Amino acid sequence: MERFAQSADALAVALDADALPGVFGKRLVVPEGCVAWIEPEDAAARLAAPGDSVRGRFEAVLVKRADVALSFEFSGLAAADGHEVTAGLQLVLRLPRTEVAIRQLAATLLREQPALDHDRLRAYLAPAVRAALARHVAARALEPLMESDPRAALDEAIRAESEALLFDAGLELLELRLPSFYSEAFEAIRAARAAAELEAHRLAEQQRVQEMRARLERNERLKREEIEAFARRLRYQGVLEELELREQLDRKRFEQQVQRFEALYEKLGRDETKALIFLLDDEQLKAQLLRELIRRDMTPEQLAALRAEELERRVAERLAAFGAHAAEREGQRAQRVARSGMRTRRLLVAFGKQVLAFEPSAGERCERERYDFSGGPLGWVRSVRVVATRRGPAVVAGAQRGIYVVLDGETEPRALTLPREPRGRGGVNAAAAFGGYLYATHSELGLTRWDEYGLERPEPLFEAVTARNEATRGVQVSADGRLYFSSGPDIYRCDLVRPSHELVRFHGREGSITGFVLSEHEVFAGTGEGRVLRWSIDDPGSPRELNVRKGGPIYMLRLAEIDGAPHLLVGAKEHGITAVSLEQGRAFDYRAPEAIRWVDGATDFVYGVSRDGRAVHVWDADRLGEPRFVLRVPERIQDVWVQKEPMVREGPAC
């Protein structure tokens, strides 16, 4: 009974008195979080609440009271136009709680096997869910399917398809979450469109350059013909000599201009457009070439975002006539943002042997608070976090040989060293706090714990897991006291409140995890192959993929409340930041003039650190154009962290 009550995977079990340990005086006590239907041999059957007990001979069915989240993913579905689609979703179910419903569950799912877990329940519902998804996909062509919101139609289809199964088992479908579709054919269509647009743009640019060169040659020829005609009309030899000298000077200038063009052409990577920009005197034409040059360097996603922004602007102009309606909607949005939004209190960046804290609301000349660790013994700083300790908020800077801790209101850091000296040049990549302890992950040394007050020695944790993997990263602690960290291709969870519980493994795929974040119901992880994996917190089995893929490694994932809804920010060394709505599954980009590596954000601003690590680009969260301003630092940034607070301040935030 204790294993059943503590197992996150177990959902229901049927048993009798013979299944309990002991010989005499057998007694069943209904565990916390469960409800039971009990049929004693010598008394009337009854429904039992947690803490109720029964003795003697009996039969019983125990059912967990917690709602169940099941994830499904099916491949090989065919759209209306024949393209293959992979579909996934999550169903939230309520297990039986009444006499009739529990008896239905026992008759349907516990007759042959006395125990019910996530996998058996998923297998029971899978045919109906697949049939509903197949019917939904088959009724739509590929592009409308991938670009529309499927939640309402899918909810109706799945309820209709699974109604009989749910009724027979006494189950109740509460909610459909996180529907997603993926198709290699759709990705190929998008890639082909982008390639065609890029080729058309390249040909148009080549034609413009050729026309510009022809215009220069034509102007030179006309100038020469004009001088020759004027010379024929002149009768005086001195004037002719002067004209000949002027022609020679013009020819020399032209030759010098051609030589300068050729030198610039070679110096600027054999790019004719860039070379002509340096030579032109026509400012309007130069500005046009510069715009085209910027567009040429954009990725297909950024070009698509630019076109979407232009279309959005035109639509906004047409909607201006409906001012009253827009004002009402804006008021609703403002209420949603005020209710759930988290704004920036401080932006912290780690570099060299220091941490700088900015207040971006004041603009690019905002105040900078400095945490200087140059006199400390732990080496270069590699990461920064703000955590909630028992003595208040603290800045934790991860260094090569340990962590520095600076409590709010204090100036002197406290240095906590790792259990042993690391061999490599890396350092602590993340830190967290819970229950009077500080936790940190180090790629080489794994997971370490320190006592906040310095009364105990640093303690390595789960060395059997971390020692066999190349990299351990990203320690985080959820509000309910569960600690997460990644090691190799997997994510692990331990219960700090109930240490006797076993370590839970979220199974990844090939390739190491580069970073991960926690939402209320899910875990999201980036990989070195450019994929984003997602698990339900209650179902750590095989992950699904977010419908966002990058051409290279994903360097950082962060969560931010944007426009009153949770969004996943993805940093992948591209010219911008991809933001994915966790409610609607739609993605959009914040564009940048250079590649972005580290990312973070809040309701007011979104932040991206440049590839060279010396600039932080700052966007208004509700604007997808160019960054509002850029913050510069003297050395290469190693990490970035946003300390957040509610839109209506209630107290210190971490």
Model confidence at 287, in pLDDT bands (50, 70, 90)? low
Whether the CB-CB separation of 344 and 562 falls below 8 Å is answered with no
Model confidence at 116, in pLDDT bands (50, 70, 90)? very high
Residue 256 has pLDDT above 80, yes or no: no
Residue 272 has pLDDT above 90, yes or no: no
Query: Within a 10 A sphere around the Cβ of 474, how many other Cβ atoms?
Result: 24
2-183 and 327-362+381-646: identical CATH topology: no
The C-alpha atoms of residue 79 and residue 147 are separated, in whole angstroms, by 13
Higher pLDDT among residues 229 and 586, named by residue: 586
Residue 90 has pLDDT above 90, yes or no: yes
| Inter-CA distances, 511 with 507, 524, 531, Å | 12, 15, 10
Residue 323 has pLDDT above 70, yes or no: no
* Average pLDDT over every residue of 299-316: 68
Provide the mean pLDDT of the chain: 86
The C-alpha atoms of residue 384 and residue 641 are separated, in whole angstroms, by 6
Question: Domain-by-domain residue ranges, the chain?
Answer: 2-183, 187-297, 327-362+381-646
pLDDT in tens, 621-644: 988 888 999 999 999 999 999 999
* Average pLDDT over every residue of 343-366: 91
Rg for the chain, CA atoms, rounded: 33
* Average pLDDT over every residue of 333-350: 79
pLDDT in tens, 480-515: 999 999 999 999 999 999 988 999 999 998 788 999
Contacts of 582 (CB under 8 A, 6+ apart): 178, 519, 522, 565, 566, 567, 568
The whole-number pLDDT of residue 277 equals 63
* CA atoms 594, 599, 605, 610: torsion sign: negative
Higher pLDDT among residues 243 and 626, named by residue: 626
The whole-number pLDDT of residue 326 equals 45
The C-alpha atoms of residue 408 and residue 643 are separated, in whole angstroms, by 13
Query: What are φ and ψ of residue 21, in 5° steps?
Result: -70, 160
Q: Is CATH 3.40.50.970 the classification given to domain 2-183?
A: no
From 167-171, 367-371, 384-388, 514-518, the region with the lowest mean pLDDT: 367-371
* Average pLDDT over every residue of 54-64: 87
Residue 61 has pLDDT above 80, yes or no: yes
The whole-number pLDDT of residue 268 equals 64
Residue 17 has pLDDT above 70, yes or no: yes
The whole-number pLDDT of residue 628 equals 92
Model confidence at 324, in pLDDT bands (50, 70, 90)? very low
pLDDT in tens, 183-237: 999 888 888 988 998 999 889 988 988 888 888 888 888 888 888 777 666 655 6
> What dihedral do alpha carbons 317, 323, 329, 330 form, nearest 10°?
80
The single-letter code of the amino acid at 588 is F
Q: How many CA atoms lie within 13 A of 193 on its CB side?
A: 10
| Inter-CA distances, 13 with 39, 54, 316, 552, 589, Å | 14, 16, 58, 47, 49
The C-alpha atoms of residue 332 and residue 327 are separated, in whole angstroms, by 9
Model confidence at 109, in pLDDT bands (50, 70, 90)? very high
CATH architecture of 327-362+381-646: 7 Propeller (2.130)
> What dihedral do alpha carbons 113, 116, 121, 124 form, nearest 10°?
10
The single-letter code of the amino acid at 326 is A
Residue 158 has pLDDT above 80, yes or no: yes
Residue 382 has pLDDT above 90, yes or no: yes
The whole-number pLDDT of residue 577 equals 94
- SS3 percent helix, strand, coil of the chain, rounded to 5, is 35, 40, 30
Which tokens go with 267? 């110096």
The whole-number pLDDT of residue 547 equals 85
Whether the CB-CB separation of 596 and 612 falls below 8 Å is answered with no
* Average pLDDT over every residue of 542-563: 91
